[in-house]
Structure 1
Amino acid sequence: MRRRSAPLASALLLLLLAQGPALAQFGPQGPPAVGVVTADRKPVTETSEFTGRIEAVNRVEIRARVTGFLQERAFTEGQEVKAGDVLFRLEKPPFEAALEQSRANVASAQATLENARVSLARARELRQTGAGTQVALDNAQAQERTANAQVLAAQAQVRVAEINLGYTDILSPIDGKIGRATYTPGNVVSPTLADPLAIIVSQDPMRVVFTVSARAGVELRNRYEGRGGVNAVVIRIRTTDGRVYPQRGRIEFVDTQVDRNTDSLLIRALMPNPRRDGVRGVVGDRELIDGQFVTVFVEGAEPVQAIVIPRAAVLQDQGGNYVLVVDGDKKAQRRPVTLGQTIRDEVVIERGLEGGETVIAEGLQRVRPGQEVNAAPAGGPPPGARPGGAPGGPPGGSAPGGRQG
């Protein structure tokens, strides 16, 4: 046993002697190295993001005004039409016959009126000579008035027949794009049908409709009311394929009531929707489509000066968002901040910083408030580092007193 323990003790002693210099490198070190940035003011386009939907400014359901057989469809489904274009034609002969009958009724009523006027004239002559009675004169006057009213009624029926005949040509009331036809020629159509014959939606401009929470609405109002209100913002949208639409819109309407169910406010904007370059007269020749979902950006028309720092410099705990700034004594100090919009990897600071502060952006996990730090510009080599080597060490990465590998 003694022979075995002697070599073992010698090996342990040699191991402890060899590890002595290595253990020495874990002794007390200086302040932690951190990367800092300056909280500068820079021009920023303020942007708020919402979810919205495209809506046509005008949307018309085409319906028959009279009952009749659908004789012709005069358009191609999906094409753009102009106001006044003929869309459908109904069978005309029944309505033409009704018009002729109404005109005949006018002629008959006019003949009756002429006869009543002759009778009235005769009754007046007889009354003046004493051969006629006042009762006969009164009756003749009443018959003349009745006949005159019948003429007016017959003339009104002619006008109704003319209007109904005109309704056999169903015209487009607006400029826009017409959808599919619900009924084909040969069907009987009437004003009481549940489904319209077709639907037309206007194309340019289109509306962008979106809702904002009541709180966000107040924030937007407070932000822009001193700069011109709705005239101080522009509307941009991003389509579902991720592309930002090149046209800009403007707000045209802000609802006067907050939705009690969702605590939200409806906002409506107008957005140009011209034909795409080189694409005309085909389906999809315009970018925006009625009912389309989009992402809506409410942007300030003019950039503003705001404090911007890296998003990675912002920390959060139960007390809210905060940053660590380096004071004149090279110590890290906590500053509560209120965040604004995020721009890629940067964030706007609305309150908490005045501008010019030195904010820690790198090495935050090694720092506590009140602790002294060794600051250097973020993104550069750590303080005390030598080109090609570790901080404070020789090239090759060996620690002082250690053995090179």
Structure 2
Amino acid sequence: MSEWSWMAQVKRIPATSFLSPAALMACVALGLGTNALAQQPAPAAVPVGTVMAEKRAITQTADFVGRIEAVNRVDVRARVTGYLEDVLFKDGSTVAEGAPLFRIERAPFEAAVEQAQGALERAQGTLQNATVQRQRAEELLKTNAGSVAIRDQRVAEEKGAQGDQTTAEANLKTAQINLGYTEIKAPIAGRIGRTKVTKGNVVGPDSGVLAQIVSDDPMYVTFPVSQREFLALKTNRLPADGSAPLVSLKFSDGSTYDQKGRVDFVDVSVERATDTVLVRATLPNPTGKLLDGTLVRVAVQADKSEEKVLVPQSALIADQQGSYVFAVEDGKAVAKRVKVGVQAGSYVAIDQGLSGNEQIVIQGLQNLRPGVPVLASPVTLTTGRS
């Protein structure tokens, strides 16, 4: 073979014959990757369940922490000092107004009444004699058989005897009152607490509270309202027609009290230390379920309803920037920032961010991202709204 023939054959060798094995594999991989990208299908639509955001008139409510208080509360005390003969009630029972509760030994007070009665009778006798002497002195003075000085003395003696009789009558009345205090009676109807003293003790005005009675129907609930919430509820003036805001209660276990009441008192000044206004409502308590001193949640309804956009609570998503929901627009998921308002049963009111009639996602949220295609299916909710 000639030199020129050998060179011609060298020129016909493909250029790839001079690439290293690693470079050759990279070229192959690049070509395959480009083809795979070109053939990748569009992402599948995510199935979601949706409901329509709707406008609805709701009554605004606000929640507070309150405490149950008895309308009437009385600390039973002894008004005279004496030996306690008997306790006439059972701890925790319901007592009627005027029912006897304690009995103090009567004998010393009966004796005091008799002594006062005797003193009164002596004063009456002295007054009767002074009156006769005064009349006699006046008759003698008319016939010039007596003197003016004696007549004046008899008049003064009669006045003194009248004063002694008045004092004796007052002493008798005081003794009779003290005798009546030996039987301590219930000043109001209600439930009575545990007795602080037992039979055999000496009790008196310095003995402190013997027992406490609280009325149990109706009951008050008092709760502080911040100045901002106070202005929002517009309860600073209670209407004269009785249409004050409604109040409902929840207990610490989450149960709801089956009776509702109305606000009947708003304090006349703001507590400067807390910037709150004390508000009170009255509720019926026919079964005695409300106990004096119980801590409760108080829901106050505003007197007028407002139209709000409502969405189910299950549609809300929260992050560091606040709350948002996913809406379906043109077959894709769109995130909408919202300002959440009051709760209405299983729904929440949206104050800002929605205008109503948006298709809101409530199912399939875990797979959603903004801009992802979705396959929306309407969902019928069985939970109610309040």
Tell me the TM-score normalised to structure 1 length. 0.76
Rounded to whole Å, the distance in 1 between the matches of 2:241 and 2:351 is 20
Greater strand proportion? 2
CA contact (8 A) 1:60 1:200 kept: yes
Aligned pairs for 1:147-296 within 5 A: 147-193=161-207, 195-221=208-234, 231=243, 233-275=245-287, 286-296=288-298
Equivalent residues in 2 for 1:359-398, closer than 5 Å = 366-367=369-370, 377=376
The amino acid that maps onto 1:309 is: V
Corresponding letter in the other structure for 2:136: R
Q: Secondary structure at the match of 1:251?
A: strand
Task: Name the residue aligned to 2:101.
Answer: 87
Quick one: distance in 2 between partners of 1:131 and 1:307? Answer: 111
Q: Secondary structure at the match of 1:186?
A: coil
Mapped to 2, the partners of 1:297 and 1:64 lie a distance apart of 42
- Determine the structure 2 residue equivalent to 1:68: 82
SS of 1:340's partner is strand
Q: Deviations over 1:315-360 (max 9, x none)?
A: 7776x7677878899996967x553202455321235544335567
Q: In the superposition, relative to structure 1, how do residues 294 and 35 fare at CA in structure 2: closer, same or farther (>3 Å)?
A: same
Shift in alpha-carbon separation, 1:228–1:164, aligned structure 2, 3 A: closer
In structure 2, relative to structure 1, the CA distance for the partners of 1:191 and 1:151 (3 Å cut) is same
TM-superposed CA distance for 1:32, in Å, is 10
- Post-superposition Cα deviations, 1:188-233, rounded to whole Å, max 9, x if no partner, equal 111122x3000001111111111111100100118x9899997253
Distance 1:229 1:353 in 2: 37
**What's the CA shift for 1:46?**
3.0
From the CA coordinates, give the structure whose radius of gyration is larger. Answer: 2
CA 1:33–1:373 in structure 2 vs 1: closer, same or farther (change >3 Å)? farther
The answer for the alignment partner of 1:137 in structure 2 is 151
Equivalent residue pairs, number:
358
Q: For 2:103 and 2:330, how far apart are their aligned partners in 1?
A: 86
When residues 118 and 95 of structure 1 are mapped into structure 2, their CA distance, relative to the original with a 3 A threshold, is same
Match of 1:346 in 2: 347
Sequence identity percentage: 40
Find 2:58's aligned residue among 19, 36, 44. Answer: 44
Find the aligned partners of 1:209 and 1:215 in 2 and give their Cα distance. Answer: 18
Give 1:36 shift: 6.5
TM-score w.r.t. the length of structure 2 is 0.79
Which amino acid counterpart does residue 350 of structure 1 have in structure 2? D
Q: Deviations over 1:115-163 (max 9, x none)?
A: 1012111211221111221111111111101101111111111111111
Contact residue 58 and residue 201 of structure 1 kept, 8 A: yes
Question: Take 2:131 and 2:241, find their aligned partners in 1: how far apart are those partners?
Answer: 72
CA distance in 1, matches of 2:317, 2:345: 14
| Residue from 309, 312, 315 that aligns with 2:311 | 309
Retained in 2: the 8 A contact 1:35–1:375? no
Aligned 8 A contact 1:33 1:363 in 2 = no
Relative to structure 1, is the Cα distance of residues 64 and 331 closer, same or farther in structure 2, using a 3 angstrom cutoff?
closer
Which residue of structure 2 aligns with residue 125 of structure 1? 139
Q: CA RMSD in A?
A: 3.8
CA displacement at 1:109 relative to structure 2: 0.3
* Inter-partner Cα distance in structure 2 for 1:228 and 1:15: 87
Per the alignment, in what secondary structure is the counterpart of residue 260 of structure 2? coil
CA distance in structure 2 between the aligned counterparts of 1:180 and 1:154, rounded to whole angstroms:
41
Deviation for aligned residue 1:248 = 1.0
Give the match for residue 280 of structure 1.
none
Larger deviation, residues 154-163 vs 18-27: 18-27
